[in-house]
Amino acid sequence: MTIRVIGLDPGLRHTGWGVIEVEGSRLSYIADGAVHSVDEDDLATRLLQIHQQILAVLEEFKPDEAAVEEAFVNKDARATLKLGQARGVVMLAPVLFKMGVAEYAPNVIKKTVVGNGHAEKDQVKKMVKILLPRAQLKTADSVDALAIAICHAHHRSAKALQQKLARS
């Protein structure tokens, strides 16, 4: 059975997305890109721009499952809060399409893709290219999104089992 997964890397300026198909242990690249908000617009308008663009991506590629990177807290509380708001609108979009949203810590994503939880961005990019040779890798944000999708592809069975056990 083939499952289509979208990885989402939320950001207020740029939100990366990457779509792959998973069939057993085989991964296939479908598409990647980024959506953007207009810096000069107010926060609410920027959040709406991100949300609407992600909805359009979901409508176009029709993934079955979604995954995002967990938020990290940085020293700038305002920036962290804005990132959290962007994550909120990004995470809402798949739910509107009746999809659950899996979350993965940055070090879990890197460990899954590269084998090292503290890997550098260029190492992640190289491994994404090896795992998805047809990938276009349009932006740094879409590389991260593809890495999130790959991570989910490797962990989705365990996540489903945990959810099933939690319900029983």
Query: Which helix (H) or strand (E) segment is 31 a member of?
Result: strand 26-36
From the candidates 32, 39, 64, 69, which is the catalytic residue?
A: 69
Q: Please indicate whether residue 42 is annotated as part of the active site.
A: no
> Based on the number of CB atoms within 10 Å of its own CB, is 13 exposed (0-12), middle (13-18) or buried (19 or more)?
middle
From the candidates 60, 65, 122, 141, which is the catalytic residue?
A: 141
State the Cα angle at 102 between 101 and 106, rounded to 5°.
Answer: 130
Q: Please indicate whether residue 23 is annotated as part of the active site.
A: no
Q: Please indicate whether residue 32 is annotated as part of the active site.
A: no
From the candidates 9, 32, 65, 144, which is the catalytic residue?
A: 9
Q: What are phi and psi of 57, to 5 degrees?
A: -65, -45
The answer to whether 56 and 92 are in contact (CB under 8 A) is no
Catalytic positions, please? 9, 69, 141
